């Protein structure tokens, strides 16, 4: 990961936000799947033990219970590892939450490559695609701990089903308290007019690093951070690519069904333009460290910069 900035764990920002809304609103309840220490939801448990429930390693039960709580007017945050919550719990998320329009918040932890050392099967590289396909589901992937805290507040305020993706390991903090956060609205991290770099989640710092590499070559890259994958800020995407004429997406997720697919859909319908997608290439995860997998999957600033050069060449 790019290390020129302060690094923090996104789950730390998540826990901060959770405790804050718990203190302000007594309708907030937290459910966990026997991984509260790893998810940092123990902080909520310590402050509000009567509103915390450990339901064990039972993702279907967690989601079903959350749906029931939502039906009774509570705002439940259902926490578990993202691969199991969206995989094993998919039917309950689909029917009991999304189809039923319940105000339940589905929180997938150990996102992307952050669970690499726990084994290949623990890496959720398809969770955004799975959740994005569900009608009525809002999908949010914050880029750092500061934005994650803001996202928790925004998610609580939004009436309806949400999937929130939370990373485990430290990533550089690229936003601050003054950076705006509004569900469905992109954040411009850098202005440019030669190529649009569209990023989400932990890839924000690598994408900014790619913009630095390109700047050294005289290429001015515009960097847009899309923390909301659904609904995507199509207006911002179209406006930026209209200016630059080409784009690159960067995500710690499969290029199939995630940010790359969402942007491709927007451009194909409204503004056909060269698009390169950086992410995992239709493959399962591997065991290793997060840094090792960033190298292996080609998720580095150098990979994004190379994709930008290809996009610019295609535009020419």
pLDDT in single tens digits along all 316 residues of the chain? 444 579 999 999 999 999 999 999 999 999 999 999 999 999 999 999 999 999 999 999 999 999 999 999 999 999 999 999 999 999 999 999 999 999 999 999 999 998 888 888 888 999 999 999 999 999 999 999 999 999 999 999 999 999 999 999 999 999 999 999 999 999 999 999 999 999 999 999 999 999 999 999 999 999 999 999 999 999 999 999 999 999 999 999 999 999 999 999 999 999 999 999 999 999 999 999 999 999 999 999 999 999 999 999 999 8
What is the reported pLDDT for 44?
A: 98
Same domain, yes or no: 141 and 193: no
Containing structural domain, residue 283? 187-314
pTM, entire model: 0.96
Q: Kindly state whether residue 138 falls inside one of the protein's structural domains.
A: yes
Q: Kindly state whether residue 134 falls inside one of the protein's structural domains.
A: yes
Same domain, yes or no: 214 and 271: yes
What is the reported pLDDT for 302?
A: 98
Q: Kindly state whether residue 161 falls inside one of the protein's structural domains.
A: yes
Distance CA 101, CA 232 (A): 20
Q: Kindly state whether residue 1 falls inside one of the protein's structural domains.
A: no
Q: Kindly state whether residue 2 falls inside one of the protein's structural domains.
A: no
What is the reported pLDDT for 146?
A: 98
Same domain, yes or no: 167 and 234: no
Sheet holding 195-199, edge to edge: 187-190, 221-225, 195-199, 247-254, 275-280
Nearest to 75 by CA among 49, 50, 106: 106
What is the reported pLDDT for 4?
A: 53
Same domain, yes or no: 160 and 14: yes
Same domain, yes or no: 239 and 153: no
Task: Provide the CA 81 distance to its chain's centre, in angstroms.
Answer: 14
Same domain, yes or no: 30 and 145: yes
Q: How far is residue 294 from each of residues 169, 187, 265, 287, measured CA to CA in Å? A: 13, 24, 26, 12
Distance CA 204, CA 147 (A): 12
Q: Does an H or E element contain 12, and which? A: helix 10-24
Same domain, yes or no: 214 and 150: no
Q: Kindly state whether residue 178 falls inside one of the protein's structural domains.
A: no
Distance CA 237, CA 76 (A): 32
Select from 172, 199, 220 the last residue of a domain. 172
What is the reported pLDDT for 117?
A: 83
Beta-carbon contacts of residue 281 (< 8 Å; ≥ 6 apart)? 254, 255, 297
Distance CA 221, CA 301 (A): 13
Specify the length of the chain in residues: 316
Nearest to 112 by CA among 301, 306, 279: 279
Torsion, CA 212, CA 216, CA 221, CA 226, rounded to 10: -10
For residue 255, how many other CB atoms are within 10 A of its CB? 21
Select from 172, 204, 234 the last residue of a domain. 172
Q: Kindly state whether residue 177 falls inside one of the protein's structural domains.
A: no
**Domain of residue 63, CATH code:** 3.40.50.970
Same domain, yes or no: 138 and 191: no
DSSP string, 243-289: HHS-EEEEEEEESSSSHHHHHHHHHHHH----EEEEEE-S----SS-
Nearest to 163 by CA among 250, 252, 87: 87
Same domain, yes or no: 141 and 272: no
Same domain, yes or no: 134 and 195: no
Tokens (6 digits) for 59: 């993702």
Q: How far is residue 246 from each of residues 229, 240, 275, 278, 312, measured CA to CA in Å? A: 19, 9, 6, 14, 6
Same domain, yes or no: 163 and 297: no
Is the separation of the CB atoms in 161 and 104 below 8 Å? yes
Select from 142, 172, 202 the last residue of a domain. 172
Same domain, yes or no: 53 and 167: yes
Q: Kindly state whether residue 181 falls inside one of the protein's structural domains.
A: no
Nearest to 245 by CA among 214, 271, 206, 223: 271
**Domain of residue 230, CATH code:** 3.40.50.920
For residue 87, how many other CB atoms are within 10 A of its CB? 16
Q: In the chain, how many domains are there?
A: 2
């Amino acid at each position: 990961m790019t290390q020129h900035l302060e690094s923090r764990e996104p789950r730390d920002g998540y826990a901060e936000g959770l405790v804050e809304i718990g203190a302000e609103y007594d309708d907030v309840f937290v459910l966990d799947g026997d991984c509260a220490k790893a998810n940092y939801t123990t902080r909520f448990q310590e402050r509000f033990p009567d509103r915390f429930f450990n339901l064990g390693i039972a993702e279907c039960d967690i989601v079903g219970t959350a749906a029931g709580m939502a039906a009774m007017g509570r705002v439940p945050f259902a926490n578990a590892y993202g691969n199991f919550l969206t995989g094993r719990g998919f039917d309950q998320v689909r029917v009991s939450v999304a189809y039923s329009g319940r105000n339940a918040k589905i929180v997938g932890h150990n996102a992307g490559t952050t669970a690499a050392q726990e084994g290949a099967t623990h890496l959720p590289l398809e969770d955004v695609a799975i959740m994005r396909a569900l009608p009525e589901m809002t999908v949010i992937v914050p880029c750092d701990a500061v934005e994650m805290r803001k996202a928790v507040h925004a998610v609580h305020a939004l009436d309806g089903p949400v999937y929130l993706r939370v990373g485990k390991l430290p990533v550089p903090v690229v936003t601050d308290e003054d950076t705006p956060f509004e569900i469905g609205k992109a954040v411009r991290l850098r202005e440019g007019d030669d190529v649009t770099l569209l990023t989400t989640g932990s890839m924000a710092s690598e994408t900014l690093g790619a913009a630095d590499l390109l700047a050294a070559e005289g290429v001015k890259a515009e960097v847009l951070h899309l923390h909301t994958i659904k609904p995507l800020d199509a207006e911002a995407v179209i406006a930026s690519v209209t200016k630059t004429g080409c784009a690159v997406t960067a995500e710690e997720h499969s290029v199939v069904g995630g940010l790359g697919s969402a942007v491709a859909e927007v451009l194909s319908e409204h503004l056909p333009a060269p698009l390169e997608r950086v992410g995992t290439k239709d493959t399962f995860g591997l065991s290793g460290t997060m840094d090792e997998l960033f190298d292996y999957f080609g998720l580095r600033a150098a990979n994004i910069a190379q994709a930008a050069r290809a996009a610019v060449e295609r535009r020419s």
